[in-house]
Amino acid sequence: MTEEEILESVSKIEVREGVHRTIKSYALRDSTLDEERRRILLANFERYGAVFKDEPTDMHALFNDPSKDVIIEIGFGMGSSTQLIARDRDEYNYLGLEVYLNGYVKLMRDVAKMGLDNIRLMRFNAVDVLERMVPDSSIKGFHIFFPDPWQKKRHHKRRLIQPAFVHLLTQKLVPGGYIYAVTDWEEYAEWMMEVFSSEPGLINPAGAGSYSAPIPWRPETKFERKGLEKEHVIRELWFERPLEG
């Protein structure tokens, strides 16, 4: 790709069609490239970047080893846990989706330093990627760690976890695939439990209405530690698409 093509690929982050667009679950922060971010992006995009395509795409083909199952992380933030999971669970390939430019470039820099070859990063709206690019029954798992709880009641419509979105995730899972979500906001945990439990295509291995025990391979993040210092309770939710037959 040329320099112009690379910069263009990270500048557009959603598909716009008329005025009827899904309510955004994110609020854009700094979206400018200074010289250092530009250098990191141009140096590493060919190896770690992924480009949005408005057509069904074999997600396995994005990676050097297409035989591995693909896991998608939605909203990886600064990517501190993303890189460690990809390093320690290298039997999987990971596609990270994030619209926050600073986090996107930082994680690209970090995985390049680590020399990981099982991770690709895309700066694009997750709903568009799932609806338009990811084939049904193709993804092993989804990670959604500490999504914005949009605390005020009038903002609840902006929450990522909504029935239609969870149904979309379920359609993309392979039989036996999972959705793994974590939050430190109790009311949002209850909201997520209700939404996930209401999706007929998912089961809760922990039992109806029960949160998952902590998953040992998910590393604790700096953000999470801050929540614990404020005596927030970490809630983990693990739901699966049942094996067919």
* Strand positions, DSSP E, 117-234: 119-122, 139-145, 173-183
Q: What pTM did the predictor assign?
A: 0.92
Q: State the residue range of the domain holding 187.
A: 3-10+33-240
Q: Look at residue 16 and tell me if it is in a domain.
A: no
Q: Look at residue 25 and tell me if it is in a domain.
A: no
Q: Look at residue 26 and tell me if it is in a domain.
A: no
The pLDDT, as a whole number, for residue 149 is: 73
CA distance 242 to 245: 9
Task: Name which of 197, 200, 198 is nearest 238 in CA terms.
Answer: 197
Residue 93 has a CB neighbour count (10 Å cut-off) of 24
Q: Look at residue 48 and tell me if it is in a domain.
A: yes
Q: Tell me 153's DSSP state.
A: G
Supply the mean pLDDT for the chain: 90
Q: Which of 69, 90, 117, 148 is catalytic?
A: 148
What are the C-alpha distances in Å from 242 to residues 9, 32, 177, 194, 239? Answer: 36, 43, 8, 18, 9
Q: Are 172 and 138 in contact, with CB atoms under 8 Å apart?
A: yes
The yes-or-no verdict on residue 26 having pLDDT over 80 is no
Please, which pLDDT band fits residue 22 given cuts at 50, 70 and 90? low
Mean per-residue pLDDT for 149-167? Answer: 78
Of 33 and 73, more confident: 73
Of 31-40, 129-138, 174-183, 192-201, the range with the lowest mean pLDDT is 31-40
Task: Name which of 165, 161, 158 is nearest 27 in CA terms.
Answer: 158
Q: Look at residue 108 and tell me if it is in a domain.
A: yes
The number of domains in the chain is 1
> What angle separates helix 80-88 from helix 101-114, to the nearest 10 degrees?
30
The pLDDT, as a whole number, for residue 144 is: 97
pLDDT tens column, 51-95: 999 999 999 999 999 999 999 999 999 999 999 999 999 999 999
Q: Look at residue 19 and tell me if it is in a domain.
A: no
CA distance 84 to 80: 7
Spell out the alpha helix ranges (H) of the chain.
3-9, 35-48, 80-88, 101-114, 126-128, 163-172, 186-198, 222-229
136 catalytic? Reply is: no
Please, which pLDDT band fits residue 150 given cuts at 50, 70 and 90? very low
Which domain CATH number covers 215?
3.40.50.150
The pLDDT, as a whole number, for residue 232 is: 82
The pLDDT, as a whole number, for residue 19 is: 39
Q: Are 97 and 124 in contact, with CB atoms under 8 Å apart?
A: yes
Mean per-residue pLDDT for 206-226? Answer: 91
Q: Look at residue 28 and tell me if it is in a domain.
A: no
Q: Look at residue 152 and tell me if it is in a domain.
A: yes
Q: Are 121 and 50 in contact, with CB atoms under 8 Å apart?
A: yes
The pLDDT, as a whole number, for residue 221 is: 81
Give me the phi and psi of 87, to 5 degrees please: -70, -45
